[in-house]
Amino acid sequence: MTDLIEFAKALISRESITPDDKGCQKLIIKELSEANFNFKKINSTGVDNLFAWHGVGNPFFIFAGHTDVVPPGPLEAWHTDPFQPVEKNGFLYGRGAADMKAADCAMVLSAKEFVLKNPNHKGMIGLVFTSDEEGLATDGTIKVVEYLKQENKIPDYVVVGEASSKEKVGDAIKIGRRGSMHGELTIIGKQGHIAYPQKADNPIHRCFKALDALAQEKWDQGDEHFPPTSFQFFELQSGAGAANVIPGTLTAKFNFRFSPMSTPDSLHNKIADILSKYDLRYKINYHVSSEPFFSGECDLSQIAIKAIQGVCGIHPELNTEGGTSDGRFFAALGCEVIEIGVVNKTIHKVNECVNIKELKQLNDIYQCILKNIF
């Protein structure tokens, strides 16, 4: 049997900066072909996607991950080369160690071992990998999901191996994620000479009260699983390039992280309501980059809780924290989606690492989930 740590090192040593897979999926195919998995490569504008499966029918279970990583950042801040994995004090260091090549390896080897031991298992075990999770995510998992839909292969359960844990492996799993919507508000004034303000209309002066009202608004209360919807401005722009000119427009960009208590439409309406209270001419555009999803305390989360209790002796917290994940694409198929992975303290940072003992525990958790489903 392939050694989990050696396999993780092999993946980490590939400089697969998003959206370049750099041959990682080839290594995954090699492992899974030893257990007679089938493969479908779905490549889309420079992105490598892989769907591997064994068996037929239901239950249909999927492990999902990504082989791309974020850039290493300032090399001088790393204690070791980010693409030369090093074991030190019980940790494995390297870019992608936590997010999420080590978990990729645990998913692959768990599935492989399960199939080797149970070649005639019922249902279907699938694995999905993309090299476009850290990038735009427009040519990644969504393309595999489109393929699965076409083939009428709709999973019942999906475990995404993203780093969900906080202090130690298994202490937290994700049972949903908030959605993300961007907006761009342009307040329209009238350009003019700064010495003749009566002949101009200053959009900077007009913006303050309206933008403050947006910043102060409580969009919803959240619930026991979701924090309240958050709203943040991230860019303000105005100015005509000279100190004696009142600019003609001001643009404010913002982002919502929204819970299922709000919808894009309900947020659009609230914004229109708020802005109507101020004497403004404006244009506004929205872009929903990610819909929220929520699996809740579903069968799969119960199975995962049991697995974690068995392996780690702890009860995981169920949360929906963090940014968006590819889990949303699977959730759109109507299946149960949860996320279980290693500790996320070092993801996207310099000196990213994974606890080796905990990685082995994650592997045991994954195996336990498979045994409980099949």
Q: Which residues are catalytic?
A: 68, 133
E strand or H helix that includes residue 311: helix 299-312
Question: CB of residue 371 vs Zn ion: minimum separation in angstroms?
Answer: 26
**What residue number has its CB nearest to Zn ion?**
99
Which of 100, 185, 250, 368 is in the footprint of Zn ion by CB under 5 A? 100
Nearest to 227 by CA among 178, 290, 175: 178
Beta-carbon count within 10 A of 123 CB = 17
Region of 94-102, 105-113, 115-123, 185-193 interacting with Zn ion (CB under 5 A) = 94-102
Contacts of Zn ion in 308-367 (CB under 5 A): none
Rounded to whole angstroms, the Cα distance separating 293 from 221 reads 17
Nearest to 51 by CA among 156, 163, 143: 143
Question: What is the per-residue DSSP string for 237-276?
Answer: E---SSTTEE-SEEEEEEEEEE-TTS-HHHHHHHHHHHHH
Region of 93-101, 105-113, 212-220, 227-235 interacting with Zn ion (CB under 5 A) = 93-101
Question: CB of residue 170 vs Zn ion: minimum separation in angstroms?
Answer: 18
Region of 51-59, 159-167, 216-224, 258-266 interacting with Zn ion (CB under 5 A) = 159-167
Which of 20, 68, 99, 364 is in the footprint of Zn ion by CB under 5 A? 99
Residues contacting Zn ion: total by CB under 5 A: 3
Question: What is the per-residue DSSP string for 49-99?
Answer: EEEEEEE-SSSEEEEEEE--B-----GGG-SS-TTS-EEETTEEESTTIII
Question: CB of residue 347 vs Zn ion: minimum separation in angstroms?
Answer: 7
Strands 157-160 and 60-66, bridge-based pairing: parallel
Question: CB of residue 57 vs Zn ion: minimum separation in angstroms?
Answer: 30
Beta carbon nearer to Zn ion, 231 or 293: 293
Region of 91-99, 187-195, 302-310, 334-342 interacting with Zn ion (CB under 5 A) = 91-99
Beta carbon nearer to Zn ion, 202 or 324: 324
308 and 168 in contact (C-beta within 8 Å)?
Answer: no
Cα-flanking dihedrals φ and ψ of residue 339, to 5°?
Answer: -125, 125
Beta carbon nearer to Zn ion, 50 or 100: 100
Binding residues for Zn ion (CB under 5 A) = 99-100, 162
